[in-house]
Structure 1
Amino acid sequence: MSDYAASNHSPLAQETGKDEMSDCWDDETRSLDYEEDDTAQEDDYIPTDEADTESEHEEQDEAVLEDMRKLQDEAILRGKFRLINRVGEVYKAQDLTWNEGAFQADLLDPSKTLRGMKKQYVALKKIYVISSPARILNELEILHDLRGHPAVCHIKAAFRLDDQVIAVLPYFPHTDFRLMFRTFLVEDMRHYFKSLLEGLAFVHKLGVIHRDIKPTNFLYNPKLRRGVLVDFGLAEIMDSIRYSKQAPVGYPRNDTRPSRRANRAGTRGFRAPEVLFKCTSQTTKLDVWSVGVILLTFLARRFPFFHSMDDADALIEIASIFGKNKMQLTAAEHGLVFDTTIPTILPKGHSLERIIRWSSSVVELTGRELQAVNLLEKILEPSAIMRWSAEGALYHDFFNNPQGADLPWGGEDPENLEHHSAQGDDNDDTACDAGDEVKLI
């Protein structure tokens, strides 16, 4: 766990607790307004196709080792996978069948060099069947359909084991977000968000809403300058309903009709205003808001930036930045009324540039940082109508006409970070990676 400290609230929201790193990733942070239980969806897994080094002596709790031994002895896994590590319900494993096809192919052509010494790793994600089978099938089908893009995780295989479903996913070595958000320069952010938005644009083009974009669901490797979007447990196919350019007519404030029911899935601090307002016509734009929150985290050097405990507080946090007027217009888009008497929430709010300077204690932003702030203003927009799409954001000058030349990896030499590149030497398979950040955050 990182020793980094972060405020529990945005800079302008009222402080109600201690300023220390939140453990919200360990708690149940995804809120659903449905009756079914979605606690089967887990955040912790590490995908990619590329081989990596492994530790033959990774330290594990005895209970974890016993669990791994029992799972590995199951007939469906025996001889196919060798379990190496476990965090939560996700296992790092060596794919023992990886070389079989290569060996057979090389026998037909002896001139080719055998790949017998190269190891392949996968992530085994255990999904307990405690929510509806339809939701588990939905996640597996989406993972199967999202093939063909290097920044999006796909599924290799899936099988039943008693009352569980085990998904076999690619393994991707990455660095803990908490080691990046304080040290990344703007050039590093450019590569990070280009990879994230490219993957998200691909997902959205297929009509899928991810619904849970956050740092732990985008596994980024600074040395490779690319990442992989993971965890589609809350994803859904986008409905045919779209936002109308004309705002609907509002209704009385003291309405006696039953409250709205809409999908409120997502992680606390990353949910878009339309999700908090329980809008029934949500689109892929809600994922773009979450990307904006991550960019704000990088620029403000504060994680988590938003940390409200419920939907009402979350709206107040957003209003403390964007102002009462803009929140009222955003609510009107969904046929709602937003009202508050909190005196610190100004009618016009504050500019994002000012928020970033306050949060990061920077007196003046550089031209590169101002360019990033301009992108932030397009994607961290309360109005879903005015907010840019993931594909549109990729055309911003931040990516296509950057100010200044890119610099080497920000903060410190990447060789000093405890992570391994997926493009390591073929002979380093026996190296120890006990300090690797790919230990499933």
Structure 2
Amino acid sequence: MAKARAQVQRHQDHIEVHQDDVKEEDPEELLDESADPLEESGRTVDTSDEEIDDSVAEEISRFEDSFAGINKRYRLINRIGEGTFSTVYKAEDLEYNSYDNRWDIDEREHRKWASPSSRRRSSRRPHYVAIKKIYVTSSPIRIFNELELLHDLKNSDLVCPLITAFRHQDQVVAVLPYFQHADFRDYYRDMKISEMRLYMKSLLTALRSTHMKKILHRDVKPTNFLYNPQQARGVLVDFGLAEREGTDWHQCACALSSEERRYRIAHSVYAQSQQAGHQTSSYPKNDTRNSRRANRAGTRGFRAPEVLLKCTQQTCSIDMWSVGVILLTLLTRRFPFFHSADDIDALLEITTIFGRKRMKETAILHGQVFETNIPSYSEHGHSLEKIILWCTGRTGDKSGPKKELDEEEKEAVQFLYRLMECDPMKRITADEALQHQFITKAYEDSEAEDEMVDLVEV
């Protein structure tokens, strides 16, 4: 971990740098996933008061005792987040004025609009950070990877930067900016289409910055995007499962030409079983092929089809599918929209919408076979328009006139189809998404508001 620490540490004194032997991670450790979205969303808190539960106070006290010197630099206030791999605390930076703090977006905005006298006073006001305590059960290679990626993403738009990192014995903490935000569950049901545009614009801006550096976030979901509705600004956080594009790649059928893919399918074990007269898929008695391994890290309900189908050449497009699931959540007012117990259930949930035919095509694309004999799954599925109408209670009255989405919703659905494209090669990129009509209207709305403000000032 010495490399990452040498690059990002802010306090060089009193920190012992130890050169670890970084070993290759066991393949099974790649099968990590974040907490269930329902459980995790309830643990994300944003509070400015210092009321604290006794159990949290005891937890903070134990943390301060176990991590020597942490309370000399930071005053821990409250626990604001808890996930599978870490706990996050809000803290006051006691040595803020001793260092260059270009990372502080809020301070820059404050100084931009403040009078000269208040600028001098601002240096004495408290400044807060988020201290991420990474669990000791996390592998050293995972911790090193997260810190290195955060350092590479410094100065990226709307991506939470790394301020510094400390290690004491086997415990590592990362110090990050503290961002005020609202709990997703408090606003997702009430968002207007115009507000969804601003949310998506902010999230996609962060992902464009990330994908430009060929980094997959791998865990895009509402609790990892700290959004402030009042400021219409969010910050992408938690790169604990992120990786560089191309990491541990092995050839997947999706990267082949259509001609070569057809040839491989025609000469596959599956094709041979079909030629032998089997009407349904069957397993060979003696299968000498190696088992297929692929990174499926992430959160249930937000994984792209290629992740569930164990594609071994996953790209940044997996994050764009997750963005689509968030937009679908906003449009249907259902959170979480997908709530599967495992990967098979997750594929079936997607099949409910897109149909058996599309899922078979998607599976073949990655050299897999998808078969189901459950009669409730139709061949062609349902349109996203119909799904949204069902979820928002606009299909109940059969005797009345047929209800349809309004024009803004239809525009959102067109954008949603580009995000939730089952073929990752056809899925829209973050850069393309920011140029889509659905998102560009957010800029038009902002300009209209600016013109109204200018008119009032005159």
TM over 0.5: yes
How far is 1:70 from its partner? 4.0
Question: For residues 400 and 245 of structure 1, do their structure 2 counterparts lie closer, same or farther at Cα, with a shift above 3 Å needed?
Answer: farther
The CA deviation string for residues 130-158 of structure 1, in whole angstroms up to 9 with x for no partner, is 23211110001001111112411111011
CA distance in 1 between partners of 2:308 and 2:221 (Å): 16
Q: Helix, strand or coil: the match of 1:264?
A: coil
- Which residue of 64, 71, 80 maps to 2:56? 64
How far is 1:266 from its partner? 0.8
Contact 2:362 2:423 (C-alpha < 8 Å) held by counterparts: yes
Verify: 1:35 aligned to 2:37, yes or no: no
Most deviating of 233-242 and 219-228: 233-242
Which residue is 2:348 aligned to? 316
Verify: 1:86 aligned to 2:79, yes or no: yes
CA distance in 1 between partners of 2:356 and 2:53 (Å): 51
CA distance in 2 between partners of 1:270 and 1:221 (Å): 22
Verify: 1:55 aligned to 2:49, yes or no: yes
- Which residue of 142, 156, 160 maps to 1:135? 142
Contact 1:277 1:331 (C-alpha < 8 Å) held by counterparts: yes
How far is 1:176 from its partner? 0.5
Aligned counterparts, 1:242-261, within 5 A: 243-244=254-255, 246-247=257-258, 248=261, 249-250=264-265, 251-253=268-270, 254=283, 256=287, 257-261=289-293
Contact 1:269 1:305 (C-alpha < 8 Å) held by counterparts: yes
Which residue is 2:240 aligned to? 233
Verify: 1:168 aligned to 2:162, yes or no: no
Contact 2:294 2:310 (C-alpha < 8 Å) held by counterparts: yes
Counterpart amino acid of 1:388? I
Question: For residues 381 and 392 of structure 1, do their structure 2 counterparts lie closer, same or farther at Cα, with a shift above 3 Å needed?
Answer: same
The size of the alignment, in residue pairs, is 366
How far is 1:111 from its partner? 12
Most deviating of 373-382 and 359-368: 359-368
Which of the two has higher C-alpha Rg? 2
How far is 1:365 from its partner? 1.1
Q: Helix, strand or coil: the match of 1:36?
A: helix
Contact 1:330 1:383 (C-alpha < 8 Å) held by counterparts: yes
Aligned counterparts, 1:143-154, within 5 A: 143-154=150-161
CA distance in 2 between partners of 1:55 and 1:155 (Å): 25
Contact 2:32 2:296 (C-alpha < 8 Å) held by counterparts: no
Which residue is 1:352 aligned to? 384
CA distance in 1 between partners of 2:180 and 2:119 (Å): 28
Counterpart amino acid of 1:65? A
CA distance in 1 between partners of 2:239 and 2:422 (Å): 24
- Which residue of 322, 342, 366 maps to 1:290? 322
Which residue is 2:227 aligned to? 220
- Which residue of 174, 195, 200 maps to 1:193? 200
- Which residue of 357, 362, 381 maps to 1:330? 362
CA distance in 2 between partners of 1:277 and 1:330 (Å): 9
How far is 1:54 from its partner? 3.6
Which residue is 1:97 aligned to? 95
Contact 1:36 1:131 (C-alpha < 8 Å) held by counterparts: no
How far is 1:161 from its partner? 2.3
Percent identity of paired positions between Structure 1 and Structure 2: 49
The CA deviation string for residues 162-186 of structure 1, in whole angstroms up to 9 with x for no partner, is 3210100110010000012100000
- Which residue of 402, 405, 409 maps to 1:365? 405
Q: Helix, strand or coil: the match of 2:29?
A: coil
Higher relative contact order (CA 8 A, sep 6+): 1
Which residue is 1:393 aligned to? 433
Which residue is 2:414 aligned to? 374
Counterpart amino acid of 1:246? S
Could you tell me the TM-score, scaled by structure 2's length?
0.73
Contact 2:245 2:315 (C-alpha < 8 Å) held by counterparts: yes
Contact 1:39 1:131 (C-alpha < 8 Å) held by counterparts: no
Most deviating of 293-302 and 65-74: 65-74
Contact 2:68 2:168 (C-alpha < 8 Å) held by counterparts: no
CA distance in 2 between partners of 1:340 and 1:38 (Å): 25
Most deviating of 158-167 and 365-374: 158-167
Counterpart amino acid of 1:92? K
CA distance in 1 between partners of 2:444 and 2:153 (Å): 35
Which residue is 2:295 aligned to? 263
Contact 2:218 2:297 (C-alpha < 8 Å) held by counterparts: yes
Gaps of 5+ in 1: 1-31, 103-108, 410-441
Higher fraction of helix? 2
Aligned counterparts, 1:117-136, within 5 A: 117-136=124-143
